[in-house]
Chain A
Amino acid sequence: MLRSISVARNLRNLSLLHHNLRNVEINRATVVNYSGIRCHPSVERNDVSLSFSRAIHFTTTRFYDSHEDIDKSLLRLDQEIRRTGRVARQEIDELLQDIRDTKKATSNQSLMMIRCCGELVPSETAENRTKLVNEVWKTMQNLNVPFDISHYNALLRVYLENEEKFNPTEFLQELSSKGLEPNRVTYQRLIARYCQEGDIEGATTILQHMKDKQLPINEHAFNSLVEGHAKAGDMESAEGMIPVMRQAGLEPNDDTFVTLMCGYARKGDMDNVNRIVRECGEGDVILIDKDFMSVIYTLVANGHEHLVDSVIPLLTKRTGFNQDATNLVLRMLKEMSKVVWNEEVQPSGNFFLQQLVRTSPSEEIVKFSKLMMEEGVHSHALSKACDIALQAKEFDKAFDLLEAYKESGAPIRQHFFWPVFAGSKSEKNVYNGLKSMKYLEVPPSMETLRDYVIPAIFRVSKGSPDQILERLGSHTGIPLVVLVPAVMQSLLSAKNVEPAIQFAQKYRLRFSNPQLRRAVADVYFRDRNEKTFVQIIGTASLDGEDRAREAVGLMVMDILERCRDKAEFILPIFKELLKCGIGLSNSGAELIQNNLGDELTPELANVITQLTSSDLSPKLEMYAPTRNQPQQLEEKSVAELEKMHEEALKNGKPTRGLKKALLFAYCRKRDLDKAQSLRQELAADGFIFPVGLQALLLDLYSNSNMIEEARAMYTTLKASLDSPVDDIKILHYAGLLASNDLIDECVNVLETTPRDESRKPSGGHQQIAAWKILNSCAEKGQVENTSKLFQVLQARNLMHVNNVTLGPLVKSYIVKDDMEGALTEFERCVRDHHATPWKQDLFCKFINAEDTDRLQKIIDLSTSLHGEVNTMYDLVFAFIQCGKLRQAKKILETPGLRSRNDKIELTCQKYLEENRIGELENLIKITTDLVHLDRHTMYFYLLQAYCKANDADKALSVWTSLQEENIQPTTELLSFLADFLRKNNLPIPFAPPAQDEEDVPLTESSRRFISGRGKKSELGDEATLPRTTNPLVKKFRQSIEINDIDVALQMKQRLDGSDSSEKLGLQDLSLLVEKMARAERLGEATKLTEEMFDRGQHPYPRVLRFLLGRLASAGEADVLDRLEKKLTPELKRQSMFNTRLCVAYTNAGKGREYFQEHIKKTVDGLQLSGGDDSSQSVPLAGATYVLIRHEDLLSEYEQCAKQAEEKENYVLTNSLWNYHLIKKDFEKAKEVWNGKLKSQPRVMFRSVMVEAKVKQDLDIANELASHIGQATGDMSSATRAAASGCLLDVLCMKGMANEAFAHLEKSLKQGLSLTEYHRETLLAVQLEMQKVNKKFPYEIPPPRQPRGRRQPVEASDSDSD
């Protein structure tokens, strides 16, 4: 109540304020200039803008000298726009200067720059903004940036926003002179331009244009017309537009009515305003507070302040209102009288910040803090906000604020996080704090760890020191070297001496660490207990006597340096040391004696002498023994074991142990055949299977659906069971039984198998297994069985009760179409388990059945658990799913409904994956006016969906829609669209972003890591992974590292399913594809790759090449055909697609098809001059490969080759020659060679060389060398040397040193030089000659630099590896 009154008062103030604002317009510019000062306080205040921009500029030219940097600046700008809706003029100026300096700008960058010259710079006057945009435009034009229609549309919008008077006819003329076709958006904006002036006539001409071009006229155009009439003062005509709209089949929206209301407000006609408000209420048009704010603004702007009060009651004061009202409060704050002290303006508005932190989400706090700083209200608003959040223990907000604080250039310090740890209530809080520190790049210092982190964990957690240490290490990645002393110090200062000693035993302290020594000494001074003191030092002796002596020296010195009556402190220690057999090093003793000086008593001297004696040896009895475990056979891989087993067999060593280990390994790898045969072998040998192995076999049989074997194994297992079985194995077996309808047996197994009851169900595996059991019953509609099994599973604590496991309960009713039962069950789930299984399906069922009572019930239940916002969104999606858009839209228009972009994105993703384009389109449709939702992301998903459906027109329409809504497309989106159009051989109406731009994707998730990411190398695979704090991502990477594909896939699934913003990166996915391909899991690898393509990504070319290679050797020609459509020509080249395809066809036994489909067609399509485009040409190695496999094609092939020859393409001829050489048909080879080939500069023969070398076939090598030797064309000497080298290699292999040398001599005489040969070849010749006691007379050239130019032979033939 109180607040609303104050808001009302503020609103009244606004009217007065507005007058001031109009007068201070010019002052604003100066304010902005001043605003820079705070970022660079080092600049003197006197010469304000000049030196400031210089200072900035000095840094920017240094750092933003490349494209990518400009991209980053633009990205920052974009983020700022999204966050605050405004940009500082300076930033635009800087960027423009950078672009001028680098003389480069991409099309998309230009678009962004143009957009930034309108209302986004509210601090500038309209004239200045127009000047700015013209400047930007000119600069871009001078740089020859390709402009497309989207640029002109953006320019139009800026003109509109600046109310710039321009001539639409001239504008259209310029467009046509540039050869650009105006689109719907262009015309709409031109109409708006006329209407701004109240020029209906002008607007009508444009409308006529649109009609002529058959362009659709939508709400935008009509709303402009309403405004036009209103501006012209003709309210009657303005109102008249509404029936016209309706006639055209368009429903006037809230914008229409607001425009109307503003028209009346301009005249001060409150009656009509009220009437429209009433009509809207009746007509289901929802007006939001912002709309009323516009009315208020118009009233005030036109001198009707006294009428504002009558609008205020209309405000609904929902959540959104607060934010808008806050905006007003902020403007008020600016006007507060400044407190000046010591000539410094003191910050004001702390109370406002307090309130903000307490009530608002982080983005809001950041937004307003920044505004306050920008407007000079509070110079340290953001810092203050962080402070307030920390004091208020709003740590999650504090993390966000600190992130923003850091972004603003402020240093983040250790102690900022201390309150977080001190205030932690759970271990999770502590880890969140650590996560945030890591994210903000302030790794916790020793001080932070010792004084805050570790004490906090000890306080909130029950674990033992080493458990805590382990968890801390695995959560944070902080090395033990750092953690161990910190934990130790923390234990010691908390007086936990006993645990400290145990801890020290386990983890060994390094007494070279002075802080640690200080802590240990502190304890001694505190407790004066020499026993514990020596016990702590003594742990060093576990690493050897010398270590202990060293540690003692260091520790004693520390004690001595810190006390006065030295002897008094030191003597008990020495005595205790002697007792424990721990000595001193000689040098240590000397130092101690020196330090003692005159305080050295005879007694002390005596003890020191004893201590330095080498007779002493530490008595370790005081510590519990520690064990070292040898490496178990179980830890070795199958391959290792198999090898060991084989060797053992060969050497007649005992193999039983190995066999057992091997059987374990087979079971784990689910290699049924090998496991079965080994099991039988062992059984025949009278081997008694241990319980563990039985359990593993049971699991293997359960998973292989072998019910008899499984049952037999279970029976034996249960009989011999004394310890509990792994839950997952019980579940797998039970699942097998359930799926075979053996419900009672299944229940029995679940009930009676002994298990460790204290264990909690864990892991996704277990959950899936439990779900499978339940689902198999639910699918058959067996309500009772499902519930019986559920109860057993729950009672025996075999699964977590959650949406997944509860789902089958509800499902079992739905399958039977028993909706009442389903609802009752659902209600029970909500009540008993706080879960809402199958909610979405129930929503849809009841929506479709128009069963509002039950629907309401579900809504209420869901709201009670998930809150209103979540439920509303789910309901929206359900309405969309059922095609009830009006209802969906109405919910979304609920005033003040919080925007949940994450939820929307997740849904979009789902729509895309499930090809639900219609629903995606509808979602976009109904969110049109909801600016707070991230529409770019939705559009991007829509674009991907269209591309997936191969609908080029619709894909392109996304681009137009983006212009219409003034959404900046990201480079990612543009390249995706460009690639798609290119693939479909369609013209691209904009300048597609260059390849290297794609490396900076602009999705929300990757944005966060952009700064931490280096530029990728060409293949990118060795680029460092973006750092992650997400445990799933971490686990994923770990499992990739250890080749555990299943776990990696699970993690991926969970990540895809979670609403975490963090997804797997390109590198993660590439690695996964590679690992799967290596494991011959080609289907999954292909699927993932296709998914990636659908998302506009692709695995690294290296990985792709590898995958394609594997697919090819497996003969998966169909898969390759499918993939082909998705590959860009560049990717095809990089992945050697054509060769792969050829091999795949051949291996699939479809060589003939390949020949017909690809080779022949290519030859037919060859152009006389062209044929150089590698994507079109026939791969040589592949062609030869086909020919060798399908000799029957020879005559056709020859014909084809002739045909190609006529078109000056000799690839086929070349491969024919290769073929004959390989087949040793030298006559024919010669014939082909002497044809056209001989005179060609570029001839390839790698496969021939391989054949010659592999078979050590001297004939082939000789023939090849002689052919090449006779080449008449302009053949490179490297090619010649390759042929000659091949002969040398073969000669060497055959041990024909003399012949080899003779050939080399001859070749050298013919002009080849040693450097052209492979070094290895020459070395081989040298070696062979040495064998026959001859000296190799040449000096072998040093190895080639790897960076040197590659030889043509390798380059041209790299296709064949």
Chain B
Amino acid sequence: MLIHGYLLLIKPVPRFHSRKKFTMSSSAARHATRIFVANLPWTVGTTELRQFGSSFGRVTHASVVFDRNTGLSKGYGFLVYANGEGGGEGLIKPGNSTHFLEGNHITCTLAHNTN
């Protein structure tokens, strides 16, 4: 499950606050699987997390949370899978919620519904 190389993929951190107000809060979003990933190693950025997540289904959105003031990774992030495809379920199967990524055991849990 190692992520090789890195890919220059620019995916700006979405502004949830503006989205919340202005996007059609689609019924789709409600069913999308949103997974909270913790204990990420410092080497993993958004690109790497996306790559990692992609082996469990189609990832529509990935993000590792960085502290803008220090530039350091906070060690957690989110993976959002396309709805209705069962993506990401392999990550949170009971008894198999830890995975190995670049030296760390990461834990994945279903995120609370932000809506």
* Chain A residues engaging chain B, CB cutoff 8 angstroms: 41-42, 341-342, 344, 347, 379-380, 383, 386-387, 390-391, 410-423, 442, 445-447, 451-452, 515, 518, 522, 525-526, 562-564
Contacts and interface: CB of A to CB of B under 8 A. Distances in A.
Kindly list the 4 A-B residue pairs having the minimum CB-CB distance in the complex, ordered from nearest.
A418-B71, A422-B71, A419-B71, A563-B22
Contacts of A525: 18, 21-22
Contact of A422 (B8, B41, B70): B70
B105 A414 contact: no
Interface string B84-115: 00000000000000101011010000000000
Contact of A418 (B18, B47, B66, B103): B66
A341 B100 CA distance: 12
B8 A445 contact: yes
Given A418-B71, A522-B18, A562 B23 contact: yes
B103 A419 contact: no
A411 B4 contact: yes
B2 A411 contact: no
B35 to A, nearest CB: 20
A175 B107 CA distance: 66
B13 to A, nearest CB: 8
A526 B18 contact: yes
B23 A415 contact: no
A445 B18 contact: no
A391 B70 CA distance: 8
A342 B19 CA distance: 41
Nearest to B70: A422
Interface in B41-80: 41-43, 45, 47-48, 64, 66-73
Given A420-B71, A422-B70, A422-B71, A413 B12 contact: no
A379 B42 contact: no
Nearest to A40: B2
A422 B74 CA distance: 14
B8 A451 contact: no
B70 A383 contact: no
A344 B2 CA distance: 16
A432 to B, nearest CB: 15
A411 B23 contact: no
A420 B6 CA distance: 19
27 contacts: A42-B2, A344-B105, A380-B41, A380-B103, A383-B102, A386-B42, A391-B72, A411-B5, A413-B47, A413-B48, A414-B6, A414-B8, A415-B64, A415-B73, A416-B43, A418-B66, A422-B69, A422-B70, A422-B71, A423-B70, A445-B10, A451-B13, A518-B12, A522-B15, A562-B22, A562-B23, A563-B23
B107 to A, nearest CB: 12
Contact of B6 (A387, A411, A447): A411
Given A413-B43, A447-B10, A418 B23 contact: no
Nearest to B13: A451
A451 B69 CA distance: 10
A387 B42 contact: yes
A423 B2 contact: no
Nearest to A447: B10
Contacts of A341: 105
A391 B72 CA distance: 7
A208 B47 CA distance: 72
Contacts of B22: 525, 562-564
Contact of A515 (B2, B10, B42, B64): B10
Nearest to B3: A411
Nearest to B105: A342
A452 B72 CA distance: 11
Nearest to A450: B12
B28 interface: no
A419 B70 contact: yes
Contacts of A522: 15, 18
A145 B21 CA distance: 77
A413 B64 CA distance: 13
A390 B45 contact: no
Contact of B45 (A342, A413, A515): A413
A445 B69 CA distance: 18
Contacts of B70: 419, 422-423
B17 to A, nearest CB: 9
Contacts of B41: 380, 383
A881 B15 CA distance: 68
Contacts of A563: 22-23
A807 B28 CA distance: 77
A733 to B, nearest CB: 52
A414 B5 CA distance: 11
A414 B45 contact: yes
Contacts of B69: 422
A391 B19 CA distance: 32
A383 B71 contact: no
Nearest to B12: A515
Contacts of B105: 341-342, 344
Given A564-B23, A564-B24, A451 B6 contact: no
A842 B24 CA distance: 80
A174 B71 CA distance: 65
Contact of A415 (B4, B12, B66): B66
A1021 to B, nearest CB: 33
Contacts of A42: 2
Contacts of A562: 18-19, 22-23
A530 to B, nearest CB: 16
A410 B15 CA distance: 32
Contacts of B72: 390-391, 418-419, 422
Nearest to A566: B22
B12 A447 contact: yes
Nearest to B21: A525
Nearest to B43: A383
Contacts of B45: 413-415
A444 to B, nearest CB: 10
A521 to B, nearest CB: 9
Contacts of A417: 71
A571 to B, nearest CB: 16
Among B2, B11, B66, B100, find the residue whose CB has the most chain A CB atoms closer than 10 A.
B66
A352 B42 CA distance: 19
B68 A451 contact: yes
B23 A41 contact: no
A421 to B, nearest CB: 6
B19 to A, nearest CB: 8
A323 B15 CA distance: 50
A656 B10 CA distance: 58
A1320 to B, nearest CB: 52
B103 to A, nearest CB: 4
B54 to A, nearest CB: 17
A41 B4 contact: no
B48 A379 contact: no
Contacts of A410: 43
A452 B43 CA distance: 17
Among B13, B73, B100, find the residue whose CB has the most chain A CB atoms closer than 10 A.
B73
Contacts of A342: 98, 105
B65 to A, nearest CB: 11
A347 B102 CA distance: 13
Contacts of B8: 414, 445
B68 A422 contact: yes
B96 to A, nearest CB: 12
Contacts of A41: 2
A916 B73 CA distance: 55
B23 A452 contact: no
A564 to B, nearest CB: 6
A587 B68 CA distance: 40
A416 B66 CA distance: 11
Contacts of A383: 41-43, 102-103
A357 to B, nearest CB: 14
B7 to A, nearest CB: 10
Given A413-B43, A522-B18, 4 more contacts: A414-B6, A421-B71, A447-B10, A447-B12
Contacts of A387: 42-43
A1032 B24 CA distance: 56
